[in-house]
Each structure stands twice: as C-alpha cells, then as structure tokens.
Amino acid sequence: MKKETGGPAFPLHQHGTQTLGMHITGMTLRDYFAAKAMPELIGWGEPDDIAVKSYKYADAMLEARKCKK
C-alpha cells in the first residue's frame, strides 16, 4: 500500500525542473513532518526506532490535516 505523502513540501511555482529526464520535486510533506518530529525523539531510542516513530508522527499530522478540510 502506498503511503500518503502530502505532496511536495516546498512546491515550485513551475512544473518542477527536468534533469537528465527525471522530474524533480524535492522532499515530500511527509518527509518534512518526519524531519521536524525527529529532534524531539533523539535520545529516546535507537536510530531505527526514532526514524520509524518520526514517520508515525508525520502520518498522524497528515491525517490531522484531512480533518481540517
């Protein structure tokens, strides 16, 4: 099952950029949310556990955004 990503975190006003035939959009909103949650979790477990928990927080934030619409 594909995870909801929230789309690009910092969308371009263009249609992205083309480099060597690849469409580049940057990090997803899910990645951004996980990165923002991660510093609060550092020191509370092993790196692999922290990464998984960071994405759980990100998924919860994406889900909460749906309720606001």
Mean pLDDT by 10 residues, the chain (69 residues): 78 55 72 95 95 96 85
38: in domain: yes
3: in domain: no
Number of domains, the chain? 1
6: in domain: no
With 0-12 / 13-18 / 19 or more C-beta atoms within 10 angstroms meaning exposed / middle / buried, residue 21 is: exposed
Per the structure, the complete domain to which residue 56 belongs is given by: 26-68
> Quick one: which H or E segment has residue 1?
none
36: in domain: yes
Which pLDDT does position 67 carry in this prediction? 86
pTM above 0.95, yes or no: no
17: in domain: no
15: in domain: no
13: in domain: no
46: in domain: yes
Which pLDDT does position 66 carry in this prediction? 87
Which pLDDT does position 11 carry in this prediction? 67
Which pLDDT does position 31 carry in this prediction? 93
Number of other residues whose CB lies within 10 A of the CB of residue 30: 19
